[in-house]
Amino acid sequence: MVRKIFGTDGIRGKVNSEFINAEFAQKLGIACGKYFLSKSGGERSNRVIIGKDTRRSGYMLETALTSGFTSIGMDVFLLGPIPTPAVGMLTRSMRADLGVMISASHNNFEDNGIKFFGPDGFKLSDRVEKDIERLLFDKIDLVGPSLVGRVKRIDEVLGRYTEAVKKSLPKNLNLRNLKIVVDCANGSAYKCAPQILWELGAKVIPFGVNPNGFNINLNCGSTNTLKASELVREHHADLAICLDGDADRVILLDEKGKEIDGDQLIALIAKNLKMEKTLQGNTVVSTIMSNLGLQKYLNNLGLELFRTPVGDRYVAEIMNIKGFNFGGENSGHIIMTDYSSTGDGLLAALHFLSILKKSKKTTSELLNVFEPFPQKLVNLKFEPENDPLENLEFKKTIEKLSSAIANSGEILVRKSGTEPVIRIMIQHSNSKMIDPILKEIENKISNL
């Protein structure tokens, strides 16, 4: 049986642990190279591009992956620190067979990860990942000395990404008179995000723009907005844009320093796309974690909400398959496939700013789009030998409780892919209903 190595978004773990070390990364480069070379049919470029965020361990993994790719005959182009969405865009525009992003997203420097993009710029499907996992345990013959791949470091690609982002915006957009805090999480957007905002005319208060290899996401970024909130109030800013370490997600703060849920941003952009008649299929794609208030709001606009498993990769995959062009997650991954093949925090923030500029409203007024359903998310541990999702009585309990609230709420139960934990999300129009339901589920698990 082949072990499951890929998670929800590539491979991620502690640096120098089982799958995030130089030896494994080299094997991974060989296996991925072998897979894509076998699919090329002589029509592809035999090239791979590699980007990374600002973690010190990125150098180690970049070198190891490069060794693996070149030993199987692929040419490698090293992009340096660059946002994840830029890797997706450049994989396609540079006609690469494969794009690689070395990043653990919003995690601290102790972790790192490896994400992959296919030649179309979209993340790899579950099927492709399984095929690569099988190859990892096969003996693969390396190429002869004359066929070893070349390596080239290229520096101009960040400019290509920033220009592409700016071209996606309305012509003559000017952010003059907007004061914006931008928190780059000491990550991959530390150069381009403040620069783009300044070039568009905004007054920029940058934060998290001094990476040292160890401070990525440390007390900053989309998962820790406390300092950005302080800066908004201190400078009387109009909003804050808080990116994560690889800039594929964004959390906005209003002029009071208050966090805005990603579902509100999804609702606002969806409404704007509908007004512009550019929303394909009158459908928004999000995950099962999206708020029922968002679904109700979209339905009232005459729009559908298509829900996928958790992970922006699944959102983008459905959008690609069905031809939809807008979706995202409440965690701040916003995907606009007219411009990007994956979540792009900076792109989403800029499109919000274009709406804000036209509205003549404050950020808080504009992003108060719908009334969210009360929602609670908890993680419940269980003994590995007593998996609740394999227990018939537990399943019946969930079905009974779900049926009882079907008209006014929902219960979502899923298992963690990395630890013996059941993740339970309950949302209901009446907040008083949530805790009793949760208590019954907890009791059922404890009695297994």
Query: Taking a C-beta distance cutoff of 8 angstroms, is the pair 241, 220 a contact?
Result: no
- Residue 184 has phi, psi (to 5 degrees) of -95, 10
Q: What would the two tokens of residue 23 be?
A: 């030896």
Query: Taking a C-beta distance cutoff of 8 angstroms, is the pair 180, 207 a contact?
Result: no
Query: Taking a C-beta distance cutoff of 8 angstroms, is the pair 333, 247 a contact?
Result: no
> Which residues make beta-bridge pairs with 113?
12
Q: Where are the alpha helices (DSSP H) in 236-311?
A: 262-275, 292-300
Residues 70, 34: Cα–Cα separation, whole Å = 11
Residues 208, 187: Cα–Cα separation, whole Å = 8
Residues 63, 167: Cα–Cα separation, whole Å = 34
Catalytic, 40? Answer: no
Instruction: Select from 159, 12, 173 the least CA-distant residue to 83.
Output: 159
Query: Which of helix, strand or coil describes residue 62?
Result: helix
Q: CA 44 → CA 88, 119, 129, 145, 230, distances in Å?
A: 17, 9, 20, 21, 50
At 10, which amino acid appears?
G
- Residue 256 has phi, psi (to 5 degrees) of -100, 0
> Which residue out of 71, 103, 105, 341 is catalytically annotated?
105
Query: Which sign does the torsion angle of CA 59, 61, 65, 68 carry?
Result: positive
User: How big is the chain, counted in residues?
Assistant: 448
Query: Which of helix, strand or coil describes residue 226?
Result: helix
Edge-first strand listing for the sheet containing 111-117: 11-14, 111-117, 98-102, 47-52, 75-81, 151-153
The residues assigned a catalytic role are 105
